[in-house]
């Protein structure tokens, strides 16, 4: 009917071979014609009973095939689990799990697979992301409807808090901040967003702040169909912001099928500040820390104002610890005094709130830069235990494992973090990943990461120099050292920073390995 077609086969192998031949033929045709004349189709294949009445074919077998077609990407083929089991050893095609998908008018979720072809990487349609078999949800950045661009920090902070609260449901997968924020300011195509982020559900909304009043509108959509599953608007006083966030998270989790572990979430409820000034200042500090052009000093100022407004607000104390820790590699500040401050504020934060994974992760990262390997691992493990869905906590644990010498395990946690939040070309997290690969003697990987890195921090050129020197590429190593000298800040000194890096490494063999690379690059250490 309409622009669709139903085909019935006596053999499931024939059905898949026909679908693959059709998609390959269309791909070849599309490659030679202009984009506006291309024809791309989605194909769904199911194995099941079909009721035949004259020219009509119907029944649940047909209905499931129709829903699988809707889940396929343009130019792609989506099959049921039955089909993949029957065909996988008979044909030279791969089957990539897409997890269980809840579809319209079918009572139980369908376990779906995407057919992967040997030449599929040449097709124009991007491969959809697959995060997990858990139901996945993406929270798009809430629009700032206040008419004041300076209120962007508030709308972004609100979105981050909702992402954090939803990620506490351990059998729900939440797309991390940086991935969902790539759609900020764009027209929303829920189906496309769901496909690109691998999310079955999408939350979008807006926030308007005027004086002491806030209006928050939010809706939950099913990405495969675009259907609205839930929508609500909250008109409240500003002091009710935490209650609104809690209501919103409960409403969303209540709509999503399956038994979410609500009891576990209740035990991990965050500890709100005693006053809104502290919360507002902490959001501003978080904004400045995320937007590096604001500067670390601006972030520190806001976190300190937050802590002054509420000395018991652990997130503010953890923010201060993190800024001091970042200042060491970023600005080349005197490690001794800066480390002492970072450790002090990290300790305060974890004493104030030992149930918040963000507090634990910030403290762990501060301890990493403070060369306290045992404390960094302890708090990183605590952060992951509190919220194993938190990409930031997973990344921090990977860092802690790297500098304590558990390198293969570190790579596993880097991968887990990246599945939730892929690394961007300008992502500061790539620094630690480069360190891990160097320590594993994966010098080519260090150079590969560096080649795609935008806005490269000065110190990373020293890492590049060491990796290139280990491969015998002396000119590349010398050029990297020159780039470091050209880009470094006034307080940076290569030898002092390398000596500091040696303190961060737990194992002597790792220290020796670093020093060997730096010396081969011509750095007098």
Which positions ≥6 away from 34 have C-beta within 8 Å?
none
**Distance separating alpha carbons of residues 396 and 384, to the nearest angstrom:** 9
Q: What is the mean pLDDT of residues 186-208?
A: 82
Provide the pLDDT for residue 386. Answer: 87
Per DSSP, the chain holds a count of helices (H) and strands (E) of 22, 12
Provide the pLDDT for residue 50. Answer: 81
Reported as a pLDDT band with limits 50, 70 and 90, residue 492 is confident
Q: Helix, strand, or coil here: 330?
A: helix
**Distance separating alpha carbons of residues 494 and 267, to the nearest angstrom:** 47
Provide the pLDDT for residue 173. Answer: 77
Provide the pLDDT for residue 121. Answer: 40
Provide the pLDDT for residue 120. Answer: 46
Provide the pLDDT for residue 509. Answer: 94
Give the least confident one: 135-149, 197-211, 326-340, 452-466.
Answer: 326-340
Question: Is the predicted pLDDT of residue 200 greater than 60, yes or no?
Answer: yes
Contacts 24+ apart (CB under 8 A), 95-102: 96/130, 97/130, 97/133, 98/71, 98/128, 98/130, 99/130, 99/132, 99/133, 99/134, 99/135, 99/136, 99/200, 100/133, 100/135, 101/67, 101/71, 101/200, 101/224, 102/135, 102/200, 102/222, 102/257
pLDDT digits (tens, 9 = 90+) for 246-294: 778 777 776 665 544 444 445 445 556 667 788 888 888 888 887 654 5
**Distance separating alpha carbons of residues 97 and 90, to the nearest angstrom:** 18
Q: Helix, strand, or coil here: 386?
A: helix
Provide the pLDDT for residue 293. Answer: 47
- Between 411 and 31, residue with greater pLDDT: 411
Provide the pLDDT for residue 332. Answer: 65
Structure tokens at 320: 């201060």
> Measured in Å, how far apart are the chain's first and last C-alpha atoms?
74
Mean pLDDT computed over every residue of the chain: 82
Provide the pLDDT for residue 512. Answer: 95
Q: Helix, strand, or coil here: 364?
A: helix
Taking alpha carbons only, the member of 278, 296, 274 closest to residue 287 is 296
pLDDT digits (tens, 9 = 90+) for 39-96: 889 999 998 888 887 778 877 788 888 888 888 888 889 998 888 877 765 666 677 7
pLDDT digits (tens, 9 = 90+) for 383-420: 999 888 788 899 999 999 999 999 999 999 998 888 77
Question: Is the predicted pLDDT of residue 220 greater than 80, yes or no?
Answer: yes
Provide the pLDDT for residue 131. Answer: 45
**Distance separating alpha carbons of residues 285 and 304, to the nearest angstrom:** 9
pLDDT digits (tens, 9 = 90+) for 108-134: 778 888 887 654 444 444 444 444 456
Provide the pLDDT for residue 257. Answer: 56
Angle, helices 430-439/460-470, rounded to nearest 10 degrees: 30
Which positions ≥6 away from 59 have C-beta within 8 Å?
48, 49, 50, 51
**Distance separating alpha carbons of residues 172 and 258, to the nearest angstrom:** 9
**Distance separating alpha carbons of residues 247 and 251, to the nearest angstrom:** 6
Burial of 508 by CB count in 10 Å (0-12 exposed, 13-18 middle, 19+ buried)?
A: exposed
- Between 427 and 378, residue with greater pLDDT: 378
Provide the pLDDT for residue 182. Answer: 76
- Between 98 and 513, residue with greater pLDDT: 513
State the pairing for strand pair 143-144/201-210.
Answer: parallel
pLDDT digits (tens, 9 = 90+) for 431-472: 889 999 999 999 999 998 888 877 777 888 999 999 999 999
Which positions ≥6 away from 518 have C-beta within 8 Å?
462, 465, 466, 469, 498, 525
Provide DSSP, 49-84.
Answer: --EEETTEEESHHHHHHHHHHHHSPTT-EEEEHHHH
Predicted TM-score (pTM) of the model is 0.62
Domains of the chain (ranges; CATH) run: 12-122 (3.30.70.1230), 136-267 (3.40.50.10610), 270-422 (1.25.40.10), 426-525 (1.25.40)
pLDDT digits (tens, 9 = 90+) for 132-174: 456 788 888 888 887 777 788 888 888 888 888 787 776 677 8
Provide the pLDDT for residue 151. Answer: 82
* CA pseudo-torsion sign 418, 424, 425, 431: negative
Q: What is the mean pLDDT of residues 355-365?
A: 92
Q: What is the dihedral of CA 397, 400, 402, 405, to 10 degrees?
A: -120
């Amino acid at each position: 009917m309409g622009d669709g077609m139903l085909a019935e086969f006596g053999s499931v192998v024939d059905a898949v071979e026909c679908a693959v031949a059709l998609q390959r033929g269309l791909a070849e045709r599309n490659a030679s014609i202009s984009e506006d004349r291309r024809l791309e189709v989605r194909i769904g294949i199911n194995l099941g009973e079909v009721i035949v009445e004259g020219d009509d074919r119907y029944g649940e077998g047909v209905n499931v095939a129709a829903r699988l077609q809707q889940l396929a990407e343009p130019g792609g083929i989506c099959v049921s689990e039955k089909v993949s089991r029957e065909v996988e050893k008979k044909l030279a095609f791969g089957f990539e799990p897409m997890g269980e998908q809840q579809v319209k008018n079918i009572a139980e979720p369908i376990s779906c697979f995407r057919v992967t072809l040997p030449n599929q990487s040449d097709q124009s349609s991007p491969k959809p992301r697959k995060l997990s078999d858990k139901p996945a949800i993406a929270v798009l950045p809430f629009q700032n409807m206040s008419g004041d661009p300076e209120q962007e920090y508030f709308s972004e902070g609100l979105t981050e808090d909702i992402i954090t609260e939803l990620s506490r449901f351990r059998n729900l997968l939440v797309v991390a901040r940086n991935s969902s924020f790539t759609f900020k300011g764009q027209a929303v195509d829920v189906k496309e967003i769901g496909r690109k982020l691998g999310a079955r559900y999408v939350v979008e909304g807006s926030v308007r702040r005027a004086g002491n009043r806030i209006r928050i509108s939010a809706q939950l959509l099913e990405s495969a169909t675009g259907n609205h599953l839930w929508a609500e608007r909250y008109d409240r006083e500003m002091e009710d912001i935490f209650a609104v966030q809690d209501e919103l998270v409960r409403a969303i989790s209540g709509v999503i099928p399956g038994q979410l572990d609500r009891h576990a979430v209740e035990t991990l409820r965050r500890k709100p500040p005693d006053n809104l000034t502290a919360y507002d200042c902490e959001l501003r500090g978080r904004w400045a820390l995320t937007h590096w052009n604001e500067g670390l000093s601006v972030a520190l100022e806001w976190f300190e104002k937050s802590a002054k407004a509420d000395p018991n607000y652990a997130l503010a104390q953890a923010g201060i610890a993190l800024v001091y820790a970042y200042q060491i590699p970023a600005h080349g500040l005197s490690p001794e005094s800066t480390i002492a401050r970072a450790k002090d504020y990290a300790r305060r934060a974890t004493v104030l709130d030992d149930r918040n994974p963000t507090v634990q992760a910030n403290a762990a990262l501060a301890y990493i830069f403070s060369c306290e390997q045992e404390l960094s691992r302890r708090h990183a493990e605590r952060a992951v235990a509190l919220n194993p869905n938190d990409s930031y906590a997973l990344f921090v644990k990977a860092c802690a494992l790297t500098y304590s010498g558990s390198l293969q395990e570190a790579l596993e946690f880097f991968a887990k973090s990246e599945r939730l939040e892929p690394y961007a070309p300008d992502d500061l997290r790539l620094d630690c990943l480069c360190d891990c690969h160097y320590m594993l003697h994966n010098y080519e990987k260090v150079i590969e990461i560096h080649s795609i890195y935008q806005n490269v921090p000065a110190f990373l050129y020293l890492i590049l120099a060491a990796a290139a020197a280990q491969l015998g590429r002396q000119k590349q190593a010398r050029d990297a050292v020159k780039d470091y000298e050209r880009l470094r800040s006034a307080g940076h000194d290569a030898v002092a920073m390398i000596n500091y890096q040696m303190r961060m490494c737990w194992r002597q063999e790792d220290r020796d390995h670093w020093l060997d690379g730096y010396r081969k690059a011509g750095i007098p250490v």
